[in-house]
Structures are given as C-alpha cells and as structure tokens.
Structure 1
Amino acid sequence: MHIPPQTLEGWLRHCEQLHPKNIDMGLERVGEVARRLGLRFNCPVITVAGTNGKGSTCAMLEAVALQAGYRTGVYTSPHLVHFEERCRIRGEIVDAASLVASFEAVERARTQNGNEVTLTYFEFTTLAILRHMSLSLLDVAILEVGLGGRLDATNIIDADCAVITSVDIDHVEFLGPDRETIGREKAGIMRTGRPVVVSDPMPPQSVIDHAREIGADLWRFGQDFNFSGDKQQWAWAGRGRRYAGLAYPALRGANQLVNASGALAALEAVRERLPITAQAVRAGLALVELPGRFQIVPGQPTLVLDVAHNPHSVAALTANLDAMGYFPTTHAVFGAMADKDLAPMLAKVGPVIDRWYFTDLPTPRAETAASLQQKWNALQMVAGGRPEVATSLHANPEEALRAAVEAADPADRIVVFGSFYTVGGVLQHGVPRLQAKHLGA
C-alpha cells in the first residue's frame, strides 16, 4: 500500500517522479484534476504573463493591494531558495506544513476511482498552491504564468484581468522561434469581454490581433495608459484616472516604471470589484520588495543580485549596471541554463565585466562552467575582445562568490546573474558579510 508523504519535502520528491517530462504542454490533464478538485476562486483573479517583468509586476500588484487593506494571495515561480516562496498570503510566505493538505487533496483527485492522471512537477505543485489559495478567503488572487500562457497550468483559471508584461525570445523549443509566435502563446491568457493589459511598449501584432479576434478589452501601453517623469518623480495616466507626483518604485531598474504602469492599469481595470486609493498606490510602490531583481546589497564591495537569464533581461541589467556610476572593477558570477541564447547575453554585458567567475549549477538543464568559459572565449576571439578579462571556473555559486569576494577591492562591485539557480545558490547560504574581509573582521 502506498503511504503518502507527511512533509512538503516528501511531496515534492513524489511530484518529481510522476511524469517522464519536466514540461508537457496541454491543459487536458491538469484541467481534469482541477475539475475533480472543484477548484474555483471567489475573488478577482489577475494573471500575469510575459518573458520578463512578471515577478516585479505581481509584487507591485500585491504591495498596492495590501496597502489598500485587501487580503492578497500570490503564486509565482520558480523560487530562489525554498519552494514555499512560490505562495504568499497577505504578503507572507506560506508555512511549508500548511501546503501538505493541498498536496494530499491533489493526489486524491489525481488518482480518483483508479482513474489516474499523470501530472508534471509544475502541474501538480501549481494545483496544490491554487487549491491552498482558493481556501484562504482572499480578496484578490495574483497568478504568475509559468511558461508561455495558452497551455500553462495557471490558464485553467479564468482570470478577471490578464497582464502581458513583455514578449521576447525565450523557451523557443516550446513557444516558437520568434516574437509573433511567442506572442500568440502569451495571448492565450486573454478572455472574451475581460480586460487585458499589454505593458510591452512594442507588442507583437499577434497579441493585438488575438485580443481583437476574441473581443477582449485591450489596454495598450502608450494608448490606454502611459507614464511620464523626471529625476525626482513620475506620473501615471490611464482611462479616466491619473496619479501625479509618485515616488519611484522601491524596485530598482530601468524597466520598473513600465512594470508599475502595467500593474496600475490592471488595478484600474478591476476597480469596480477592487477599489484602490491613491495613498495605497503611493505606499505600495514605495514599499514593494522582490529579492533578486536588480537587488543591490550595500557593503564593500557592492553586491548586485539579478535573475536576468535571457538577452532581453540581460540588456536591462547592463543598462542598470551602466547607470550605477563608476566602479574600478566589476566581477561577474555567472551560471545559466544550456537552452538559453548565451552568445547575445555574454556579448551585451561583456563590455561592463572585468572578471568572470563561471559556475556549475545543481540541475541537469544547466550549462557547465567550462562550457560557459569556452563560449565566452569563442566570443572574444570573433569580436577581437579584451584579452585582459580574467575567467575562472567554480563548482557552485557560493564558491564562485567567495572567490570574487577574495579577489575584489572594497570599491569594486560583484554582480551575480544568469539564472534563478545562480542567485538562489548565493542566497541559500546567506549572503556573506562582504565587508568583513575589508574591515579586518
């Protein structure tokens, strides 16, 4: 007789063994288990899809809604260190033990009457978190779409408002080779007659066409909402509402005003069911937090953590590093997945990096540190690059960071990027007291 796991860790191991694939596109299986669970939400649901900016947009929606006094639930993926980071209720990460009952319920539904349904790890865990959220008496549920949109497990929920943050090239083996094809997949989260906020300033035509084909209420950046600003403050204007004199969002980076604009448009679109005050907007954006998104850890040397893992997000990271001002030497701890478009990522950020620390990552999907070094060297040969840039290889992100700290001077900076695994590997062991070496501690 099969004895069900008693802990979240046990359930996650169980989920890893259920399906031969990590990703199996399609909603039939996950939809059937959701139907057996009777999964439904009794509050407004906002889904957020896009290549980059999803996590930041979800965090801003959550922060503003919390400041307005609402009981929020947020589902995001992947996590940085602990699985339970994927679910927040009222702004707090859920306790691991509180998720166990929902994993048990999904397993019962999945194997009901001997009619077993296979689920991937992502599908099973998504269903468990959605069930937990649906029973948490929420005022608003915010769901980050995992991969794509149309066939993502979160799309079994009919959202009251959909947000598409950006469309760029990523996950080409599942979503297609170009922005138009990928845009069609992202557009699958739209619903007829319901608002869809497109905060990408230059969206693929396929996104606009799909909204019109199905009769969604399209909110376009630059047409239905926009922002303006100077160095001190910014303003947002949407359909019939305007916020002026806003402080910049607490999340740093060049793209955060675009993300904030999309979040405010989504809140405006559901205003009848979820009224938001101007004060909640101001306070929420001033207080929003999200680890690993151009997160600057003060100290000597300065440490920058960023989960940028595709050409588009690495370009934004490069612009943000440029805007930080002068540092004598920039050290980069870098680990990435093998399926990423690595050459343009390395080429874009290369000019601002003085020393590389390439690292292995604890997943079979990752590129090896040695292969990353080879790709960097090949790029330098083709481009006639900077021969003075040193590189080294490391077994894990923690070891790579330790080497960077040892080599860095107090006035330098260290940037850790390339994957959730890279940033998570550094955070997992606690960011070391970088000042200690330089203060003689």
Structure 2
Amino acid sequence: MTSESLTVCKSLDDWLSYIESQHPSEIELGLERGASVLAKLNIVRPKEKIITVAGTNGKGSTCAMLTQYLQSQGHSVGTYTSPHFIDFNERITIDDRPCEDDLICQAFKVIETVRGDTPLTYFEFSTLAALWIFSQANLDYWVLEVGLGGRLDSVNMVDTDVAVVTSIALDHTDWLGDSLEVIAQEKTGIARAGKLLVSGVVNPPASLANTANGIGAVLRQKGTDFSYVKKGNVWSWSGNNVRFDDLPVPNLPIENAATVVAILSYMGLSPTKEALASLFHSAQLTGRFQKVSSEPLVYIDVAHNPEAATELANRIADFESAPIAVCGMLKDKDIASVMVILGSQFSAWYCADLKGIRGAKADELFTKLTHPYKQSFPSVAQAYDAAVAQAIEESRAVVVFGSFVTVTDYLEHARYLQHDREKGVPC
C-alpha cells in the first residue's frame, strides 16, 4: 500500500477520489492489468455458479430479475452492476442490499496492498473489490454485469459458468466497433468452452453464433431454442421442453424476462410457474420505467439509445393521454434516432442541459426534435418542476429519461424536495 493512500484514504469518498487519480484514462479495455492483481487476491468462487451478463440494453433488468429470483429460492447472491445513481455502494450488493462503506474500503485496501506498480482504472478497482467481497462472503451465486463490451471488459477476467448476451445494438462504437457483427463478437467474448451461453438477442448477427461455436460454448438462442408470446396482460414462454402460460407481464422489459426464464431453465434450476409469476409481479429496478410518483404520475427511465427508446415508446403507448417528456442526453449518444422514435409520443418536451463534458445542451436536442411544444432548461430539476406544474394542470403523466445522468439528477432533486417536505418548507 502506498504511503499516499495510507495517509489520505479515511473514508469511501477518499478511496474513490484516490482510485480515480491512479490511472490517466477513465476507460482502458484489457484484461492483463486486472488479471495480474486478481491472481494475488486468492479469490474463492461461489458455491454454485457465476453468471455474467453482457448486452447493449437490458443488462441491469436481467441482473435484477436473476438476483431477485435466486434470493426467492433461498440462495445467497452477490450482484455487481454499473453505473451507480447516487451512492457507489449501489454497484456492489449482497442479497440485493448495498455493501457498507467499511467493507468496500477494506476491499480497496487489500487491492491497493497487492497491486504493486500495476495501474488500475476506476472500473478495474471496482470490479476487483466486488470479486473480493463476494469471495469473502462465501455466497451461492455471483451475478456480474459487464461494464462495456465483453471480451476485454474487466468483468471478463473471471471465468463465468453462465454467459448471457441480452441484446445487440450500435452503441459505444468508438470502443466496440461500428457494425453489429463486430459488437456481437465482442459481447459474446464472455462465453467459455463447454459452458452455457444464453442469447436474448432478436435477429442476432451471424457473428454471435460463429463466435460462440469458435469458443465451444453451449449456445441457446431466443427465437431458435426458446420463444415467448405476449397476449394482453399475460404472456407465455416455451423452450427446453417446458411451457409456461399466463405469466404476468413484468414492470421490467418482457424481452429480458423471457431471457431470464431461459437462463434459469437451461441452468437446470427448473423454475416453477408460481415462482416466476411471483418474480414478475414484484421485480423492479431503479430507473427502468420506474414509477416514482402517483400524483402526478411520474416515471423515470434511463433510455438513451434507439433500442431503449423503442421500448419506452411501447410502454407509454398505453397511457390514456400523451405524457410530458423531461429529457437530457449525452452528446455521444444517437440523439437524432431517439428523437425520431419518441418525438410524437409526448404532448410537450422539457429538455434539460446535462452537466459534464459529455452532457448535451437542451438546444442540441432541439436541433433533432420536430415538435410544436418544446422548452429548454439549464437543469433537469428546473425542467422537472416546470413539467410537473403542467402535468397537474392538464392531468398528464411525466416521463424523465435520456441517460443515467438524467435519472441521477432527478433522484438528487427528489431527495432535496423530500428533505424540504420533511422540514415543512413549501415546495
């Protein structure tokens, strides 16, 4: 451990500031650095299996449903996801509860002690901390969400027992390539020889199966090995010589729910209809079409690319009247396509500037948005307050979306408003 970290790191915030300063790049794909440190940590694998989840969209929902199902069956589960909204602790949970500051600090201290001169990125530090914490806890299962891509993401430095690819779309093209074939190849790189790979990808690029076969993985694909059909408020799933009828439509995307059923079935866990129905009645995840208010009706969603925008459009199509949009996006996302998909779905657009060098200004969204009613605001909080005032007057819903940053800004504002209400301050 360096004398600097010994002196400076007294709290989790101290540690996070320290590890951010230890590598010049926020993102640097590759396994060598992390794997060299991992080898020194004496990690003990879970008693059952490691499940690693990659994909353009749907990773968080899939991880949440897997975690909640496994818990419901009496299993202990460590879950690693990213990014977080408010607190770093959200990334590392045991039995769906964020780990305490002290435990995470202890993990960082161990990693710092053994890494020597090996530079680690923020995400590599985080991943190693999660693996060490889960190892210490002697859990039944680990559910690990890939941060970026798959093959060269630091989560892939640990061999998985079950690999999952939820979806494939163009995103992070600077890092992963500018074609679906190349991106599918990168994400499928989390698979291992002789191990299960479940693909929830609709119309998968040929490179997915080719890569899986080259690795020697046991591939099971949506549309080939399993399928689902939605009818009204229920749906059915079939595959692996099993059929489940009249399952409740979940709050989380049904595409991912179908993939979760396949994972559980092909893993040999023999899920029952009753257990699945219970899961889909209760499964939830922050920022995934999450209802956060009833009066007025408010939903928050991290939708930030065309595939996620299409899912959001399908959700709000069932509203009695067109809702009001509160939207903020990052410059490096496909703003134009999102605006085309969602533009006409809302009665009004309240666009917000997002902070940071990647944050787009509201006026940048306007250039891609053709809508008769749109306003710009310097922050998500101001856009939200204005949207709520209009929603109450017109009896409409509000949907806050566009980025993890947008949802985080909303959550921070909601916390502030709640604090004021508790203090009796008029909002």
Question: Does structure 2 conserve the Cα–Cα contact (< 8 Å) formed by 1:60 and 1:260?
Answer: yes
Match of 1:279 in 2: 274
Give the residue type in structure 2 aligned to 1:425: D
Report the alpha carbon displacement of residue 49 of structure 1 after superposing the two structures with TM. Answer: 0.5
Asked whether the 8 Å contact 1:63–1:288 carries over to 2, the reply is yes
Q: Does 1:340 align with 2:353?
A: no
For 1:186 and 1:162, the matched residues in 2 are separated by 10
Q: C-alpha separation between the residues in 2 aligned to 1:137 and 1:281?
A: 26
Structure 1 counterpart of 2:98, one-letter code: I
Report the counterpart of residue 265 of structure 1 in structure 2: 262
Letter in 1 for 2:145: E
* SS at 1:81 equivalent: coil
Question: Is 1:423 aligned to residue 407 of structure 2?
Answer: yes
Q: Which has the higher mean CA deviation after the structures are superposed, 298-307 or 173-182?
A: 298-307
Q: 1:50 aligns with which of 42, 50, 55?
A: 55
Shift of 1:191: 0.7
Q: Which residue in 1 is equivalent to 2:155?
A: 154
Q: Distance in 2 between matches of 1:275 and 1:69?
A: 14
Aligned equivalents of 2:341, 2:233: Cα separation in 1 = 29
Instruction: Determine the C-alpha separation between the residues in 2 that align with 1:261 and 1:234.
Output: 10
1:352 and 1:248, CA in 2 relative to 1: closer, same or farther beyond 3 A?
closer
Does the aligned pair in 2 maintain the 1:66–1:284 contact within 8 Å? no
The equivalent residue for 1:290 is 285
Question: C-alpha displacement at 1:360, in angstroms?
Answer: 2.6
Per-residue CA deviation, residues 204-245 of structure 1 (Å, 9 max, x unaligned), is 111011111222101011221122342242222221333333
Is this contact kept in 2: 1:333–1:414, CA < 8 A?
yes
The AA in structure 1 aligned to 2:327 is: F
Over aligned residues, Cα RMSD in angstroms? 2.0
Alignment check: 8 A CA contact 1:211 1:217 kept: yes
CA displacement, residues 315-337 of structure 1 (integer Å, 9 cap, x when unaligned):
2112211122324xx32221111
Aligned length: 414
Task: Report the Cα distance in structure 1 between the residues aligned to 2:325 and 2:235, rounded to whole angstroms.
Answer: 32
SS at the partner of 1:428?
helix
CA-CA distance at 1:184 after TM superposition:
0.8
Q: Distance in 1 between matches of 2:410 and 2:170?
A: 27
Q: 1:37 offset after TM fit, Å?
A: 1.5
Query: How high is the TM-score relative to the length of structure 1?
Result: 0.89
CA distance in 2, matches of 1:210, 1:402: 49
Moved over 3 A (4+): 274-279
User: Shift of residue 4 of structure 1?
Assistant: 4.8
The answer to whether the Cα contact below 8 Å between 1:64 and 1:285 also exists between their aligned partners in 2 is no
- The alpha carbon displacement at 1:410 in A equals 4.9
Alpha-carbon contact 1:337-1:419 (below 8 Å) kept: yes
In 1, Cα distance between the equivalents of 2:226 and 2:285? 24
Q: Which moved more, 1:162-171 or 1:133-142?
A: 133-142
CA distance in 1, matches of 2:270, 2:11: 39
Correspondent of 2:77 among 53, 72, 90? 72
AA at the equivalent of 1:419: S
Deviation at 1:414, TM superposition (A): 1.4
Q: CA deviation at 1:277?
A: 4.5
Q: Residue 430 of structure 1 aligns to a residue in which SS? A: helix
AA of the residue aligned to 2:390? A
1:359-374 → structure 2 map (5 Å cutoff)? 359-373=352-366
How high is the sequence identity, in percent, across the aligned residues? 38
Shift of 1:415: 1.2
Q: CA deviation at 1:249?
A: 2.0
* Alpha-carbon offset, residue 363 of structure 1: 2.7
Give the unaligned 5+ runs of structure 1: 381-385
Matches within 5 A, 1:128-167: 128-167=129-168
- Rounded Cα–Cα distance in structure 2 between residues aligned with 1:279 and 1:318: 30
Per the TM alignment, residue 125 of structure 1 is displaced from its structure 2 partner at its CA by: 1.2
Question: What is the distance in 1 between the residues matched to 2:359 and 2:198?
Answer: 33
SS in 1 for 2:127: helix
Counterparts of 1:376-391 in structure 2 under 5 Å? 376=368, 379-380=369-370, 386=371, 388-391=372-375
Secondary structure of 1:219 counterpart: strand
Note if contact 2:331-2:360 (Cα within 8 Å) is conserved in structure 1. yes
Name the CA distance, whole Å, in 1 between partners of 2:254 and 2:155.
Answer: 26
Separation (CA, whole Å) in 2 of partners of 1:155 and 1:164? 13
Q: Secondary structure at the match of 2:93?
A: strand
Separation (CA, whole Å) in 2 of partners of 1:144 and 1:194? 17
**Structure possessing the higher relative contact order (Cα contacts under 8 Å, 6 or more residues apart):** 1
SS across alignment from 2:62: helix
CA–CA distance in 2 between the matches of 1:362 and 1:98?
A: 31
Native 8 Å contact 2:321 2:396 kept in 1: no
- What residue number does 1:209 align with? 210
- Does the aligned pair in 2 maintain the 1:301–1:410 contact within 8 Å? no
Query: What aligned pairs does 1:38-437 form with structure 2 within 5 A after superposition?
Result: 38-43=42-47, 44-111=49-116, 116-251=117-252, 256-271=253-268, 276-327=271-322, 330-373=323-366, 375-376=367-368, 379-380=369-370, 386=371, 388-394=372-378, 396-408=379-391, 409-430=393-414, 432=417
How far has the Cα of 1:417 moved from its partner? 0.7
**TM-score w.r.t. length of structure 2:** 0.92
User: How far apart are 1:265 and its partner, in Å?
Assistant: 1.3
CA distance in 1, matches of 2:46, 2:298: 42
2:326 touches 2:400 (CA, 8 Å); kept in 1? yes
CA contact (8 A) 2:351 2:374 kept: no
- Displacement of 1:127: 1.1
Deviation per residue, 1:393-435 (Å, 9 max, x gap) = 22x32222112223332511211111111011111232658xx
Q: Per-residue CA shift, 1:344-384, capped at 9, x if unaligned?
A: 111211112333222233332222334333x23xx53xxxx
In the TM superposition, residue 275 of structure 1 has moved relative to its aligned partner by: 5.9
